[in-house]
Structure 1
């Protein structure tokens, strides 16, 4: 297979490209649209996007009951029989809940990598996608495009152009995909920051497991300063569970600072007195106060 950019090969970079009105859009892969029994449609392998029974799904079910499935799903034939859904998992679920037996499907003849690119591009710009879903989806598309022989930087640039996000953001999200689902759930719920997640993505999995265990034991979530220290300690061979517990137990001393406004100082000290003179008098008075046991 040619090592050309998948986006150039498929000419199908977004959901709008699939169902837009541009007559010049070229689709290289073979396709046909037909009604397929819902029971013959199977979930895409490692599909990263969640299908939830939420308010939006309820609205979709009501729409399906009234109008049917207006936009065909996308699928490809399975060697085992039936079809693998590439795009349209939410429509398939809504059709099931609405009591339909079949739904319109665009059948495509495409490779694993081509199917992955289409699947991600068809979903990635939805507004309700979580950080973990984006991270997993971008990782799948990145790996699929890399299989075609594209250099990492070029792949990120192409993904950035398609998704409308900076290549740096996409790269950071891909890093997050190294984390376990438990970590990603913490990030999705905003308990753990993305920056901390990025730091943890660069340490070995066994160290991440220790961090998760200690956070649970101590009932806390690491901050940015702590995650940076953990990353450096892991890199330098200093990381251990004992070391981690010590730095998480460390409490910074409270920095105390007392500031007098100008009018209050003027009520006690002559205008020609220097700051050093004023400080000396205050310290002397405090020493006398301390000598009396801190009593007035």
Structure 2
């Protein structure tokens, strides 16, 4: 179309007139053609919330499109929407509304984590691996040289601060979660089940994996582990390697033996044998205490 001066003008699309510019449109994609994101850290559980989601899908369908990308094999890879797709499958659907976006590996990781990290009731292990994946991706992305800055670099502290800022946590807390990825799976599972304190788990994460196996065996046998035991173990490990017997000795020495409660009761019949009838209870206590004091002095000589 031309204006009165004969100049060509661009017609606004309906979306632009409505204020929706470059809006991505969803398409129906066959679920069978979608495969999960590699190393997806978020668990899809068949719990009560999933059942509620399945019922919603049966009634209303999938209201929010999932996000996909094409991988190197020209196949669809799920970026975000694993729970929605699982619910759709349980509801009997064969297709799902999806937005297909061109994303690099690192951009896909960041998008996947950002879409899931705000979910309620995330397990510590889910946060741990999600934060680690995002940190690694952000560092690789920031570290790529550009014309303006051919030698870019970003440290873990700066990246952790950025991740924490996006998720309402300190950079320090983000790094503490990432430390959990250094635990053996059995110990990390105890953290998820709240059978191993978060702070104690962080301390254990600095210990070699073979010793972690021994720690897990100890917890399985005793049902507990105390912060003092791990702190003492780490101090000992700084001096050199130890074996499992030595570790058990360290743990046993750290556990304070409970004092046995002792009480002695004398019957009135026994007491009247040694005291006159006019002695009160207080009189008898004073005599007994005096005699015990004399006995203790004799024992120390």
Q: What TM-score, normalized to structure 2?
A: 0.74
Structure 2 residue aligned with 1:41, among 29, 34, 43? 34
Residues 254, 54 of structure 1: CA spacing in aligned structure 2 closer, same or farther, 3 A cutoff?
closer
**Contact between 1:38 and 1:102, CA under 8 Å: does it hold in 2?**
yes
What is the aligned partner in structure 2 of residue 248 from structure 1? 251
Correspondent of 1:129 among 122, 125, 139: 122
Pairing 1:24-39 to 2, within 5 Å after superposition: 33-39=26-32
2:173 and 2:195 map into 1 onto residues whose CA distance is: 20
| 1:233-272 correspondence to structure 2 within 5 Å | 233-250=236-253, 251-254=255-258
Bigger radius of gyration = 2
When the two chains are superposed, the root-mean-square deviation of aligned CA atoms in Å is 2.9
Q: Does 1:144 align with 2:137?
A: yes
Q: Which runs of 5+ in 1 are unaligned?
A: 1-22, 258-266, 270-280, 292-296
Instruction: Please give the per-residue CA displacement for 1:16-42, whole angstroms capped at 9, x wherever unaligned.
Output: xxxxxxx79999xxx652111011111
Alpha-carbon distance change, 24 to 170 in structure 1, aligned in 2, over 3 angstroms: farther
With the length of structure 1 as denominator, give the TM-score of the two structures.
Answer: 0.75
Higher normalized contact order (CA 8 Å, seq sep 6+, divided by chain length): 1
Q: Is the 8 A contact 1:230 1:239 kept in 2?
A: no
Aligned residues: 247
Q: 1:104-135 CA distances to partner (integer Å, 9 max, x unpaired)?
A: 11111111111111111101111121111111
Give yes or no for contact 1:74–1:85 (8 Å, CA) kept in 2.
Answer: yes
Q: Does structure 1 residue 219 correspond to structure 2 residue 222?
A: yes
1:95 aligns with 2:75: no
Indicate the SS of the match to 1:109: coil
SS at match of 1:85: strand
Partner SS, residue 74 of structure 1? strand
Q: Deviations over 1:219-275 (max 9, x none)?
A: 332111111122222232153211111122234244699xxxxxxxxx979xxxxxx
